[in-house]
């Protein structure tokens, strides 16, 4: 379902037959004595030498561009050596120890190794670590090209490793978006349901023909869905570069439909554009749709395509992705309906196991020791396309840290961590309407979701590794809803969603409909009543 992405400072990498701890840091480049400069991501091993946490405490030293060499033999050392400077050399042909040893005995105060491959921590053995007293770090080839283009020959560099904050403020935005989507989607689903029942009672479904039909989820559908999720996740892990574009195209189409569904209730209140297009034989237009529906469709497609074209613009494309993602989630929450609490429990428990397995168990099964869920959600670091899956809410990190420059500049929350608990919240709201309970189930389940999300963030900060959010969201929402049902002594009806009868001669209840007496009362709607007007709007 998409694990929430951690923000660890230290990453565990495997090299040869030993484990090496590598850390992300920053290399601050500037021209001469200029105060302005630019930070670049570096990957270093503190066992060679530690880096200061503050830029003001880091020594600014002249760089020596030796990227035409790999610095593996004394003949590669220029005349005069590297006195009080930090050479930049290419990776390859010899060990990290041989490179840094040559640099150190020739006066270097540090070493930057430029790598065209994936950044890995520069390793060595215990005796080599004790012999070397200068820092050594890896810099990407792409960053080296940018440095050469941006700064002159007299460029200076200062290497440092600021401490990663325990919690990033972007978590507040993710929390508000996730809880808001669940609350609005669950409320909308219940309100739409009561309107639909009202229209059926009045035998007037003309206004409903433009609304999407709901889909009741069955146990067989749940099993098929989970099998498809497992298969797709495994295929993405092994064939990411081949399937990522198909996923992006699917998201563009689904998000456009979701955005249309969310905007249509507002657009149809506008008194303009009701005229229909002339008769024609065009596909999807032969029924002469209204002009405003065509304009809205064109707008939604344009927004989706804009995101598809500029999806890798990190400065602003994430805003569009989140907006489209929220619209998609709202559409799914009002379209997919769990008919009983029994179905809710089955779906949430099965996906709970699915999430935990692919985050915590799969690292024991893969050769690299990586979690399949986290690796796919964030995009494999060795992907040739460098594309990211769009099925997540993403917010850039708001603090200054090495991860902002390196390969984890965003915090992520998968759509599944919104949709799965959101379906239970929607069920609770429909049950509130059925039982006329002042939305106690809806409010309790929504609060439970918010608490579960907060626990997820705390687990991220404490464990410093990717977390299956459903591990915390499922118990918080299921147990909260169950507790309310037990407290109100309504568990049998809440579990089955049907079979409850009160005063059978006058009033009957069924989850497929609402109180018939309520419908008779509902026929005299007062548009001035804000709540009744809300039902009519949606």
- 248-274 tens-digit pLDDT: 999 999 999 999 999 998 988 888 777
Does residue 137 surpass a pLDDT of 60?
Answer: yes
Q: Which pTM was predicted?
A: 0.76
Reported residue count of the chain is 538
Specify if 153 maps to a domain.
yes
Please tell me the distance from the alpha carbon of residue 25 to that of residue 170, in angstroms, as a whole number: 21
Specify if 409 maps to a domain.
yes
Q: Which of 91-100, 218-227, 505-514 has the highest average model confidence (pLDDT)?
A: 218-227
Same domain? 335 vs 366: yes
Specify if 4 maps to a domain.
no
Query: Torsions phi, psi of 409, nearest 5?
Result: -80, -5
Specify if 271 maps to a domain.
yes
Domain end call among 118, 140, 160:
160
What CA–CA distances, in Å, run from 310 to 277, 303, 304? 33, 11, 10
Please tell me the distance from the alpha carbon of residue 493 to that of residue 91, in angstroms, as a whole number: 67
Higher-confidence residue of 278 and 485: namely 485
Specify if 348 maps to a domain.
yes
What CA–CA distances, in Å, run from 12 to 43, 200, 393? 12, 60, 26
The full DSSP string for 210-248 is: GSPPPEE--HHHHHHHHHHHHHHHHHHHHSHHHHHHHHH
- 413-467 tens-digit pLDDT: 889 999 999 999 999 999 988 888 788 999 999 999 999 999 998 888 787 677 8
Number of domains in the chain: 2
Same domain? 446 vs 297: yes
The backbone region for 83, taken as left when phi is positive above 0, alpha when psi lies in -120 to 50, beta otherwise, is beta
Same domain? 216 vs 77: no
pLDDT of residue 341: 93
pLDDT of residue 407: 62
Specify if 165 maps to a domain.
no
Does residue 323 surpass a pLDDT of 80?
Answer: yes
Residue 241 annotated in active site = no
- 358-414 tens-digit pLDDT: 988 988 888 777 788 888 887 776 777 888 889 999 988 877 666 677 766 788 888
What are residue 63's DSSP bridge partners?
A: 86
pLDDT of residue 393: 92
Boundaries of domain holding 189: 170-537
Instruction: Judge contact between 71 and 89, C-beta under 8 A.
Output: yes
**Average model confidence (pLDDT) across the chain:** 80
pLDDT of residue 324: 96
Mean of the pLDDT values across residues 339-352? 93
How many percent of the chain have pLDDT more than 70? Answer: 79
Give the pLDDT band (50/70/90) at residue 487: very high
Same domain? 92 vs 230: no
Same domain? 114 vs 152: yes
Please tell me the distance from the alpha carbon of residue 345 to that of residue 497, in angstroms, as a whole number: 13
Same domain? 154 vs 174: no
Helices (H), 202-337: 219-238, 240-267, 291-309, 317-335
Give the pLDDT band (50/70/90) at residue 62: confident
Same domain? 403 vs 282: yes
pLDDT of residue 523: 40
Higher-confidence residue of 54 and 307: namely 307
Same domain? 73 vs 33: yes
Considering 143, 417, 432, 526, which one is annotated as catalytic?
Answer: 417
pLDDT of residue 68: 85
What CA–CA distances, in Å, run from 173 to 3, 298, 472? 17, 29, 19
Same domain? 196 vs 155: no
CA-closest candidate to residue 523, choices 536, 512, 510, 511: 536
Specify if 286 maps to a domain.
yes
pLDDT of residue 36: 77
Same domain? 174 vs 156: no
Considering 117, 355, 407, 526, which one is annotated as catalytic?
Answer: 355
Domain end call among 160, 192, 225:
160
Please tell me the distance from the alpha carbon of residue 495 to that of residue 485, in angstroms, as a whole number: 9
Q: What is the CATH number of the domain that holds 92?
A: 3.50.30.30
Query: Torsions phi, psi of 272, nearest 5?
Result: -110, 160
Does residue 11 surpass a pLDDT of 50?
Answer: no
Instruction: Judge contact between 89 and 69, C-beta under 8 A.
Output: yes
Please tell me the distance from the alpha carbon of residue 533 to that of residue 513, in angstroms, as a whole number: 20
The full DSSP string for 132-150 is: --S-EEEEEHHHHHHHHHH
Give the residue carrying structure tokens 């770090």: 137
Same domain? 89 vs 174: no
Residue 355 annotated in active site = yes
What are residue 29's DSSP bridge partners?
A: 38, 157
Count of alpha carbons within 13 angstroms of residue 263, beta-carbon side: 20
How many degrees, rounded to 5, is the angle at CA 461 between CA 467 and CA 413? Answer: 45
Q: Which run of H or E residues covers position 181?
A: helix 170-201
Specify if 3 maps to a domain.
no
Domain end call among 160, 195, 227:
160
Same domain? 106 vs 178: no
Please tell me the distance from the alpha carbon of residue 186 to that of residue 182, in angstroms, as a whole number: 6
| The CA-based dihedral angle spanning residues 473, 479, 484, 486, taken in that order and rounded to the nearest 10 degrees | 170
* Strand pairing class (10-15; 18-31): antiparallel
């Amino acid at each position: 379902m998409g694990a929430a992405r951690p923000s660890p400072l230290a990453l565990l990498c495997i090299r040869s037959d030993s484990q090496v701890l590598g850390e992300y840091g920053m290399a601050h480049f500037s021209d001469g004595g200029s105060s302005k400069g630019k930070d670049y991501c570096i990957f270093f091993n503190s066992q060679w030498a530690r880096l200061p946490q503050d830029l003001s405490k880091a020594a600014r030293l002249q760089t020596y561009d030796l990227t035409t060499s790999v610095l593996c033999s004394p003949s590669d050392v220029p005349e005069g050596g590297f006195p009080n400077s930090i050479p930049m050399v290419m990776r390859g042909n010899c060990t990290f120890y041989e490179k840094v040893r040559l640099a150190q005995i020739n006066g270097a105060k540090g070493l930057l190794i430029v790598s065209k491959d994936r950044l890995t921590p520069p390793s060595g053995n215990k005796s080599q670590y004790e012999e070397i007293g200068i820092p050594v770090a890896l810099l990407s080839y792409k960053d080296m090209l940018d440095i050469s283009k941006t700064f002159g020959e007299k460029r200076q560099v200062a290497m440092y490793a600021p401490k990663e904050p325990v919690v990033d403020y972007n978590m507040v935005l993710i929390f508000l978006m996730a809880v808001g989507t669940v609350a609005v989607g669950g409320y909308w689903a219940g309100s739409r349901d009561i309107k639909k029942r009202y229209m059926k009672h009045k035998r007037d479904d003309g206004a409903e023909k433009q609304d999407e039909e709901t889909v009741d989820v069955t146990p067989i559908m749940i099993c098929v869905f989970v099998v498809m999720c497992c298969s797709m996740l495994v295929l993405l892990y092994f064939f990411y570069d081949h399937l990522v574009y198909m996923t992006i195209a699917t998201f563009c189409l689904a998000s456009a439909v979701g955005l249309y569904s969310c905007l249509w209730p507002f657009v149809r209140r506008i008194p303009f554009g009701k005229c229909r297009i002339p008769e024609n034989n065009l596909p999807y237009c032969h029924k002469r749709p209204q002009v405003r529906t065509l304009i809205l469709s064109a707008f939604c497609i344009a927004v989706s395509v804009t995101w598809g074209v500029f999806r890798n613009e990190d400065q602003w494309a994430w805003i569009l992705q989140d907006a489209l993602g929220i619209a998609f989630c709202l559409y799914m929450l009002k379209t997919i309906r769990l008919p009983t609490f029994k179905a809710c429990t089955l779906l949430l428990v099965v996906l709970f196991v699915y999430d935990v397995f692919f985050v915590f168990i799969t690292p024991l099964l893969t050769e690299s020791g990586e979690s399949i869920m986290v690796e796919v959600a964030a995009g494999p670091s060795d992907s040739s396309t460098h594309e990211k899956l769009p099925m997540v809410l993403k917010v850039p990190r708001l603090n200054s840290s090495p991860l902002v420059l390196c390969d984890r500049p965003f915090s992520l929350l998968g759509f599944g961590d919104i949709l799965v608990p959101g379906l239970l919240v929607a069920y609770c709201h429909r049950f509130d309407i059925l039982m006329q309970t002042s939305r106690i189930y809806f409010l309790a389940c929504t609060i439970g979701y918010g608490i579960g999300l907060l626990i997820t963030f705390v687990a991220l900060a404490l464990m410093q590794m990717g977390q299956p959010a459903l591990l915390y969201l499922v118990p918080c929402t299921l147990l909260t809803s169950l507790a309310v049902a037990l407290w109100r002594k309504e568990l049998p009806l809440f579990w089955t969603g049907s079979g409850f009868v009160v005063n059978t001669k006058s009033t009957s209840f069924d989850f497929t409909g609402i109180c018939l007496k309520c419908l008779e009362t509902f026929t005299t709607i007062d548009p001035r009543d804000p709540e009744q007007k809300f039902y009519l709007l949606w």
